[in-house]
Homo-oligomer: A and B are copies of this chain.
């Protein structure tokens, strides 16, 4: 099966269909994006790359970054990570405080906002300069050196991030945040502001399809067992309360962000990044979901 042909055919097909949904509008920076942007990039474990559309244009990856922050924390804390954050799907909307109340401040998983805030707290407690070390890590796994935070996005988020401020203080009230909420929120808003292209995202996550080892430098980011576990969490929790739907339709572990980006992993085969800014009602990229569903059907390449 020729990946490039299938990508292009699926891309053309999805492009011909209606571009439904709407742009994230809670901060001006995200609502100003051209809603017709659409890019795809696949990196395979046998060192090939296939791409089409706006695949080299940077965008705000937002919650996709939670995969990388989780991995950094997991490298630092190992299985102790799970003492403070669970691995169960949340069953409710991504910013819900209800579950948190029921679970006394332990977020259900590291991909909902509350869980990602606890992960940021772990990074602050364990790193000298978490922001710089985070950038270093992203630049290392993506074989790049110009991935940056967006100060504009950070400022925008801080102006409207009342729900995240609420979440962080709420968890703090249960004792599951060690540092000051201000510091944790600052790191959270900062890493979510990172801008990457599909190319960079796909490359950066390829080690998750390669048993934890980067292809270019053969660096072991996670061991094989840890890699499987990160993939498992993406499978069950990567798409908020549409995780079951994504698993059902696409059949790959993945993670989405409100910037319209999605990464998905086919263990031992490839990593893929898709970007299209319009979001469905659950907050996931409308075309991104559609593209991946049709792609895995074409390739018959779900993990199931």
Interfacial residues, chain A to chain B (CB-CB below 8 A): 86-92, 96-99, 101, 108-109, 162-163, 165-170, 172-173, 181, 224-225, 227-229, 231-233, 235-237, 241-245, 247-249, 251, 253, 267, 297, 300, 302-304
Contacts A/B (CB < 8 Å), 6 sampled: A89-B91, A89-B236, A165-B181, A229-B248, A232-B302, A236-B247
10 new A-B contacts, CB < 8 A, other than A91-B91, A166-B169, A232-B302, are A87-B245, A89-B243, A89-B244, A163-B169, A166-B168, A169-B169, A232-B251, A236-B236, A267-B303, A303-B303
B residues within 8 A CB of A90? 91
CB-based contact B89/A99 at 8 Å: no
- The chain B residue with its CB closest to the CB of A89 is B89
Chain A interface helix/strand/loop/mixed? helix
Given contacts A165-B181, A169-B166, A247-B235, contact A227 B88 (CB under 8 A): no
For the complex of A and B, the 4 pairs showing the least CB-CB separation, nearest first, are A91-B91, A88-B244, A231-B304, A166-B170
Given contacts A169-B169, A267-B304, contact A236 B243 (CB under 8 A): yes
The answer for the CA separation of A98 and B91 in the assembled complex, in Å, is 12
CB-based contact B303/A86 at 8 Å: no
The answer for the CA separation of A231 and B99 in the assembled complex, in Å, is 27
B residues within 8 A CB of A101? 96-98
B residues within 8 A CB of A98? 97-98, 101
Set B170, B181, B237: member contacting A244, Cβ < 8 A: B237
CB-based contact A97/B170 at 8 Å: yes
A100 to chain B, nearest CB (A): 8
- The chain B residue with its CB closest to the CB of A230 is B304
CB-based contact A232/B87 at 8 Å: no
Set B91, B109, B163, B225: member contacting A88, Cβ < 8 A: B91
A288 to chain B, nearest CB (A): 18
B residues within 8 A CB of A97? 97-98, 101, 166, 170
B residues within 8 A CB of A86? 244
The answer for the CA separation of A90 and B88 in the assembled complex, in Å, is 10
A199 to chain B, nearest CB (A): 24
Of the listed residues A231, A243, A303, the one surrounded by the most CB atoms of chain B closer than 10 A to its CB is A303
The answer for the CA separation of A92 and B90 in the assembled complex, in Å, is 9
B residues within 8 A CB of A300? 224
Of the listed residues A90, A92, A236, the one surrounded by the most CB atoms of chain B closer than 10 A to its CB is A236
- The chain B residue with its CB closest to the CB of A296 is B228
Set B88, B96, B235, B244: member contacting A87, Cβ < 8 A: B244
Of the listed residues A88, A245, A300, the one surrounded by the most CB atoms of chain B closer than 10 A to its CB is A88
Set B88, B166, B231: member contacting A166, Cβ < 8 A: B166
The answer for the CA separation of A89 and B247 in the assembled complex, in Å, is 11
A225 to chain B, nearest CB (A): 7
B residues within 8 A CB of A181? 162, 165
